[in-house]
Chain A
Amino acid sequence: MKIGVFVCHCGSNIAGTVDVAGVAQAAKNFPEVAFATDLLYSCSEPGQEAIVQAVQEHDLDGVVVAACTPRMHEPTFRRAVERAGLNRYMFEMANIREHCSWVGKDKDANTRKASDLVLQAVEKLRFDRPLQAKSFDINKRVLVVGGGVAGIQAALDCADGGLEVVLLEKTSTIGGKMAKLDKTFPTVDCSSCILGPKMVDVSMHPNITLYAYAELESVEGYVGNFEVSVKKKATYVDWDKCTGCGLCMEKCPSKKAYDAFNEGIAPTRAINIPFPQAIPKRAVIDPTYCRQFIKGKCGVCAKVCPTEAIDYEMQDSFVQEKVGAVITATGYDLFDYRKYGEYGGGRYPDVITSMQYERLLNASGPTGGHIQRPSDGREPKKVVFIQCVGSRDKSVDRPYCSGFCCMYTAKQTILTKDHIPDSQSYVFYMDIRAPGKMYDEFTRRAMEEYGAQYIRGRVSQVYPYKDSLIVRGVDTLLGSQVEIEADLVVLAVGAEASRGASELAEKLRISYDAYGFYMESHPKLRPVETNTAGVYLAGACQGSKDIPASVGQGSAAAAKVLALFSKDQLESDPQVALVSQARCVGCGKCVQTCPFGAIQLAEDRAGNPKAEVIETVCQGCGLCTVTCPQSAIQLQHFTDNQILAEVNALCQQAMEESFES
């Protein structure tokens, strides 16, 4: 084998603390090295050209570039060696910048280390084999999980781009949190006026199949070829027949059902259509409240329904869908306001959450848009808002900022003043986080034009006294305890990962952070991709965010899917496991170990069981290689021999040194 070594200066980034020419000189003595030189900027156009020329001039079989981290330029150089006529896997990088020149000050030590790293790469390269990517067909359909504003946007953009879309929503209507909001910051325009048309578009779009009241049961397959099973939960109403007339709801005698859409502010009926603009507008029976289910008798809805849609015997059903990509848009849930005993949420009726307040403000909400205290229906005059409830609080394991509550609180003070002109709002805050376009101007308006009183400090306790709630807090700017006799207390509850987010992540094999939010591939440069090919993120499931950001990410995820599907075939990464038929004894250990189900047991011609890797499914983790008692299954490009060669290269050097001295 003829190997070429190129040692990069990276200007002074490497050359400043490594004797680059010295390393290149030393490399000339390494096994099978036919050519070695140093380059000023390897990744620049002249740098790459020099590599291509050297390969051709010296008839090289493999290339080592000693430069920055392979996580940065490995693809760049692989393309370069390919241009030079080599297989792109006949290439190795030695990381002498991030792992060497940037972390050590001693030039001699760095130079020794750099040349060790070059030797290590050379030794590995000697075992490299050309690998060929396989092409495979893809299914150009996309599954969107979650029908909030982010999911809606992603679904519409994909559908407009010509893709078939399957949209999955676990509740009986799409719309997510935004459907519950009254107005939206920073423009204070009506939430349903801007969301409603989009929801209708979803229902009318010929490319979108909507499964509401449905959940993802299981996922098999890989990018381009996922097979998903969708569970359609029993609604006890035949949606093909139901017209959404609402007669059943009117007549249902069970009137104390929990109204999730209205955040429990008022009860609803056991058979329910969450709100008039629901998409799909279909009824669902809640069996925990329905008398037919509890007591075995009632049947009123079945009698009144003009289309005979009611079906008490209905069971969950399953449908299978084949898609090539998945976008998760499962949003967030709200922090449980009962966790702060000192605020009395859940104990004192007039201590409510911000989302409950949105429902009170909303003209189509249970109070018709009149702000009324839950306890006695009285119109509150003094409203206290407490920010950061369940955010930025290590004691409840929520150290992060939810990002949007400062803004919606400002919005709610403005709306409070609009609804009740002689009211006064008080906001307890720690910091005001309003970094968006027109955002800070908005919070200033709440204070300057609408007279909201902002108090810098936290509230330590809320308790009822006579007809009011005593709110005791601190004004840290004054250095004083402060007290307000409030009529209503609104808790700006923070966002947390959507319930069930981690289970869904495990099905999709994507990772999530310590709080259950989904992990993007790179926090800055790949914010809508996951580390699992073909799975993308949109909206608050990746981390709390407001509507503009959610919509932006929904569109971005759609663009990623459209780019993915712009080709008819995808190439698989050939750095996958490979079974040596001769060595495999068919014990099946690898089959059990593979987290991706990429190995199956087949029979060879003699009828002996042998492991077989499905190349397109294998993710290249190497678990199987370590598991196999016969060393029969080897991860290509990271074989036992290659890693041991690296170990040897590093230790040999040390051994020699230790005997020298």
Chain B
Amino acid sequence: MSAGNGRELRIVGFLCNWCSYGGADTAGVSRLGQPTDLRIIRLPCTGRMDPLFMFKALLSGADGVLVSGCHPRDCHYSEGNFYARRRLELAKRLLPTLGFDSGRFEYTWVSASEGKRWQQVVTAFTEQIHTLGPGPKFSH
């Protein structure tokens, strides 16, 4: 069911349409089994990834957030992933001050052909989140 024993945790993925979403598709087409915790939101580009989305997800009850885009230089929009990286690096550093372990968030590169890599990324990240356990929950 999930990577750890016991309950599934909630992981939200933000993937760029051109590379990583395609990579996740490739993994699917190749039937590369993965833990079921992850739910994917499709973005045109990781450059569209507002750090706010990550904070919002974690504050609303997600236990982990994974962002994945094109490899550097491969960006369909030429430089969107550079912007994304800069922004998200900063955001990651902010996490502890908000009470989240910075391991709850990762940013990675997977191209459309890298189905195997996607499987590894998902598996490793899910394991990482299960090691950290459920995130802090704030009821509104």
Contacts and interface: CB of A to CB of B under 8 A. Distances in A.
Interface of A: 69-71, 95, 97-100, 102-106, 108-110, 112-113, 116-117, 120, 506, 509, 511-513, 519, 523, 531, 575, 593, 595-596, 619-623, 625-627, 635, 638, 640, 643-644, 646-648, 650-655, 658-659, 661
A331 to B, nearest CB: 21
Contact of A621 (B24, B28, B45, B61): B45
Given A651-B60, A655-B137, A623 B28 contact: no
A644 B53 contact: yes
B139 A659 contact: yes
B105 interface: no
Nearest to B26: A98
A650 B42 CA distance: 13
A153 to B, nearest CB: 28
B78 A595 contact: yes
A626 B48 contact: yes
B68 interface: no
* Chain A contact residues, majority secondary structure: helix
Nearest to A70: B42
A60 to B, nearest CB: 23
Given A98-B29, A595-B78, A652-B60, A625 B34 contact: no
Given A69-B25, A103-B33, A658-B134, A95 B40 contact: yes
B47 A104 contact: no
A659 B36 CA distance: 20
Given A103-B34, A104-B36, A523 B48 contact: no
Contacts of B35: 104
B50 A625 contact: yes
Contacts of A623: 45, 47-48, 77, 80, 83
A622 B24 CA distance: 21
A529 to B, nearest CB: 13
27 contacts: A97-B28, A98-B25, A99-B24, A99-B40, A103-B28, A103-B119, A113-B36, A511-B76, A512-B73, A595-B77, A595-B79, A621-B48, A623-B47, A623-B80, A625-B48, A625-B50, A626-B48, A626-B50, A638-B43, A647-B41, A647-B53, A650-B12, A650-B57, A654-B9, A654-B61, A655-B60, A655-B139
B25 A109 contact: no
A535 to B, nearest CB: 12
| Most chain B Cβ neighbours within 10 Å, of A98, A596, A638 | A98
B60 A648 contact: yes
Interface in B22-70: 22, 24-25, 27-29, 31-36, 39-45, 47-50, 52-53, 56-57, 60-63
A109 B137 contact: no
B29 A621 contact: no
Contact of B28 (A99, A106, A652, A655): A99
Contact of A506 (B9, B27, B78): B78
